[in-house]
Amino acid sequence: MSEIRQNMITKDWVIFAPERAQRPHEFIDRQGIVPLPVYREDCPFCIGNERLDNTIETLRIGEKDWQVRVVRNKFPALVPTGDRIRSGTGIYHNVTGFGYHEVIIEHPHHDRHFALFSLTEVEVILTAYLERYKQILTDKRIETIVIFKNHGLKAGTSLAHPHSQLAGLPIVPFHFRMRIDTAIRYFDDNGKCIFCATLEDELEKEERLIMNTEHFVAFIPYAALSPFHIWIFPKRHFSCFSYIQPEELEDLALILQQILAKLYWGLGNPDYNFILRSSPRGERDTEYNHWYISIVPRVNRTAGFELGTGMYINTSLPEKSAQFLREVEIPNA
Ligand SMILES: [Zn+2]
Ligand SMILES: [Zn+2]
């Protein structure tokens, strides 16, 4: 018989069906690892091609031979000009498309990515995230900042050059509000943060842990919504990514790089998204909200069942996937 587990943080229900369960190695991408060129003449993100990308640069780390560049998205969903104005017609409301939509070009070379970066390279990328996060936060019209990465076609990327994105939104998305409501309710009932409580439980059980470093823990949630869905939580309780300390940032570079390398070597470079979920402006200093990173490998497809019920069917058991990833060895560079 299948088991329906509830994710306490997202409140989602997930069906785990043993008859449909796949073993971890069945998720290995058969396409495997396709090599890319170091440089492409037509790629706007390759070093030397900066002129192709006719847009504003908001941050550069390194000088001429830059390490990381942040630019405004050439086809932005939101723009930081004009103002945030709310209006409406009849029962409907709208807000002007004010906000920030930036691209973090993670490396000057075309063929590199997180799984292959050195720790120093990842640290520089995280530093760029942090600097832009803090800078955009000074704009009081911005309520929520999300940093995310789409790796591969199934994760929605159109450009192979390693890059991630940042969106500064003029509102708090409903999705965030729902999670916050759940966290507040848990805090009121139990007097503690639901994320800290989850961390305590996962550290005690150990069966879903993948990595445990000085400041962070990577694990597969008890009711993971999809196969190999991974959460990375900071051990110290804080709600906003902007409060991260230098030694924590260094440690985050380590755990993030190692986890993405485990996916790369273990599952054959699967497509994935990662999302840095920090708290909206008004929730930055709360006892109930805890920022974290979510990694979602795109190894299966959602279908009508998910759309129709809002529930998920996960064909991989979190305990088994965690064990598989714990055992993946990363070859020395
Ligand atoms: Zn490129
Ligand atoms: Zn917490």
- How many angstroms separate the alpha carbon of residue 36 from the centre of ligand 1? 10
Section 231-239 average pLDDT: 98
pLDDT higher than threshold 90 for residue 53: no
Instruction: Give the CA distances from residue 249 to residues 152, 207, 273, in Å, rounded to whole numbers and listed in that order.
Output: 26, 26, 20
pLDDT higher than threshold 70 for residue 124: yes
pLDDT higher than threshold 90 for residue 48: yes
Section 207-236 average pLDDT: 97
- Report domain extents, the chain: 3-80+94-327
Q: Rounded to 5 degrees, what angle do the CA atoms 167, 217, 175 make?
A: 35
Q: Quick one: pLDDT band at residue 333, thresholds 50, 70, 90?
A: low
How far apart CA 202 and CA 85 sit, in angstroms, is 44
* pTM confidence score: 0.95
- How many angstroms separate the alpha carbon of residue 46 from the centre of ligand 1? 4
Return the pLDDT at 303: 77
- Chain segment 164-174, per-residue pLDDT in tens: 999 999 999 99
- How many angstroms separate the alpha carbon of residue 173 from the centre of ligand 1? 32
Instruction: Give the CA distances from residue 242 to residues 62, 212, 254, 292, in Å, rounded to whole numbers and listed in that order.
Output: 22, 22, 18, 12
Section 86-90 average pLDDT: 92
- How many angstroms separate the alpha carbon of residue 246 from the centre of ligand 2? 19
- How many angstroms separate the alpha carbon of residue 216 from the centre of ligand 2? 12
* Secondary structure (H, E, C), 154-221: HHCCCCCCCEEEEEEECCCCHHHHHHHHHHHHHHHHHCCCHHHHHHHHHHHHCCCEEEECCCEEEECC
pLDDT higher than threshold 70 for residue 66: yes
Contacts 24+ apart (CB under 8 A), 60-68: 61/124, 61/127, 61/128, 65/108, 66/108, 67/107, 67/108, 67/121, 67/124, 68/104, 68/105, 68/106, 68/107, 68/124, 68/125, 68/127, 68/128
* Mean predicted lDDT score pLDDT of the chain: 93
Q: Quick one: pLDDT band at residue 33, thresholds 50, 70, 90?
A: confident
User: Checking DSSP bridges between strand 86-89 and strand 92-95, what pairing results, if any?
Assistant: antiparallel
Crossing angle of the two packed helices 246-267 and 119-137, in degrees rounded to 10: 120
How far apart CA 319 and CA 158 sit, in angstroms, is 33
Section 171-198 average pLDDT: 97
Return the pLDDT at 216: 98
pLDDT higher than threshold 80 for residue 301: no
Nearest ligand atom owner, CA of 107: 1
Return the pLDDT at 198: 98
* CATH number, domain 3-80+94-327: 3.30.428.10
Which one of 163, 215, 229, 290 is the catalytic residue? 163
Nearest ligand atom owner, CA of 9: 2
Report CA Rg, the chain.
20
* Sign of the torsion angle spanned by Cα atoms 104, 109, 113, 115: negative
Nearest ligand atom owner, CA of 44: 1
Crossing angle of the two packed helices 246-267 and 318-327, in degrees rounded to 10: 100
In b/e form, how buried is each residue of 66-92, taking b as 16+ CB within 10 angstroms?
A: bbbbbbbbeebebebeeebeeeeeeee
Average the pLDDT over each of 21-35, 104-118, 143-157, 294-308 and give the range with the smallest value. 21-35
Q: Quick one: pLDDT band at residue 159, thresholds 50, 70, 90?
A: confident
93 is annotated as an active-site residue: no
